[in-house]
Amino acid sequence: MTPASTPDPDTGPATDATNVDAEAEAEAEVDRIREAFVREAHDVTPSPVPLAALMREGRKARRRRRTATFSALTVLGAATAAAAVAGVMAARPSLPAPAPIAAPPSAVAPRVPTPKATPTSAKPTPTPVRVVASGQRIDAGKGWKVWLTAEGKHWAGPDGLENSRSVTDGNIDTAVPGVSHQAHTSPAGGFHSGLYYGTRAVGRVELKGPGSTRTAATLLELPGRPGWGVWYAHAGRGAGEAGLAMYDRAGKLLAELPG
């Protein structure tokens, strides 16, 4: 696709012409690629939409989710009632027990202890790093699963949709401390997770919310201190809006991600 007459590179105007030619050539190439996409896409003739089948499947999925939510609420209700009763028993008998304050809106108690969302101004205390095997699916609570492989971070939501973030595709510079953030939020709160990297001495990753609210994340790493890991947390509304912070074990700020 080189022009037939090659311009003389020694002269100024010719250089300009070369640049214009190169630009036009690049544009033509992009146009050609775009054309190729359109041709390829129109090369297929979609069947009629199987509306009844996909609506049937959708209804099934909805019923499954409702059943799961109902079960979770039942468990939560029982746990809250038990906590309230315990609170009443422990409190002075003459006073009405205050309504138990659930820290983060975590419905089902996960096997892994979920860090507390606490308004705090204290110096960050280190969070233990849980070392997990490659591919080991960690129950992050509320139907979320998180696992690590040498390739990076993987997670799946209650609906089964899986996603991943690579540490090997060249988009992350693991030589410099940093954190990434992926959020799945709803009006009630959300599941937050991400990668941390560029350090072998991570102490804490915090989600910064409105005011001075901080939510400490659970930390996961593969064996052998690879220099990166995964953090996750369930948090209420607004968590992470003010950004993220990563500290080392001595409480020194290593990296921040603006909100």
Partner 1 sequence: MPHESAAEDDGFAEFAVAAWPRLVRTAQLLTGDFHEAEDLVQTTLAKVYGRWGRVPRGEIDLYVRRALVNNNLSRIRRKRVALLLTPVLPESLRHTYAGHAEAVEQRTALQEALADLTARQRAVMVLRYWEDLTEQEIASVLNCSIGTVKTHARRGLAALRTHPRLAAAPVPYAPAAPSGAPR
Q: Where are the alpha helices (DSSP H) in 1-138?
A: 12-41, 51-90
Q: Which range, of 8-16, 103-111, 161-169, 203-211, touches partner 1 by CB under 8 A?
A: 161-169
Interface residue with partner 1 among 11, 22, 61, 125 (CB under 8 A) is 61
Please give, one letter per residue, the 3-state secondary structure of 163-194. Answer: EEEECCCCCCCCCCCEECCEEEEECCEEEEEE
Please answer whether residues 232 and 219 qualify as being in contact, where contact means their C-beta atoms are separated by less than 8 angstroms: no
Interface residue with partner 1 among 2, 9, 10, 44 (CB under 8 A) is 44
Based on the shown chain and the rule CB under 8 A, indicate whether residue 185 belongs to the binding site for partner 1: no
Based on the shown chain and the rule CB under 8 A, indicate whether residue 200 belongs to the binding site for partner 1: no
Q: Which residues contact 250 (CB under 8 A, 6 or more apart)?
A: 203
Please answer whether residues 33 and 39 qualify as being in contact, where contact means their C-beta atoms are separated by less than 8 angstroms: no
Least distance in angstroms from the C-beta of 157 to partner 1:
9
| Touching partner 1, residues 62-81 (CB under 8 A) | 62, 65
Based on the shown chain and the rule CB under 8 A, indicate whether residue 137 belongs to the binding site for partner 1: no
Interface residue with partner 1 among 169, 211, 223, 258 (CB under 8 A) is 169
Please answer whether residues 241 and 209 qualify as being in contact, where contact means their C-beta atoms are separated by less than 8 angstroms: yes
Least distance in angstroms from the C-beta of 68 to partner 1:
12
Please answer whether residues 192 and 183 qualify as being in contact, where contact means their C-beta atoms are separated by less than 8 angstroms: yes
Based on the shown chain and the rule CB under 8 A, indicate whether residue 163 belongs to the binding site for partner 1: yes
Residue (38 or 83) nearer to partner 1, CB: 38
Based on the shown chain and the rule CB under 8 A, indicate whether residue 150 belongs to the binding site for partner 1: no
What one-letter code names the amino acid at 144? W
For 181-206, give one letter per residue: b (16+ CB within 10 A) or e.
beeeeeeebbbbbbbbbbbeebbbbb
- CA atoms lying within 13 Å on the CB side of residue 150: 1
Based on the shown chain and the rule CB under 8 A, indicate whether residue 6 belongs to the binding site for partner 1: no
Interface residue with partner 1 among 9, 10, 13, 51 (CB under 8 A) is 51
Based on the shown chain and the rule CB under 8 A, indicate whether residue 174 belongs to the binding site for partner 1: no
Residue (166 or 174) nearer to partner 1, CB: 166
Size of the site for partner 1 (CB under 8 A): 48
Based on the shown chain and the rule CB under 8 A, indicate whether residue 20 belongs to the binding site for partner 1: yes
Please tell me the distance from the alpha carbon of residue 209 to that of residue 104, in angstroms, as a whole number: 13
Please tell me the distance from the alpha carbon of residue 66 to that of residue 249, in angstroms, as a whole number: 42
Based on the shown chain and the rule CB under 8 A, indicate whether residue 102 belongs to the binding site for partner 1: no
Which residues contact partner 1 by CB under 8 A? 3, 20, 23-24, 27-30, 32-44, 46-47, 49-51, 53-55, 57-62, 65, 154, 159-164, 166, 169-171, 182
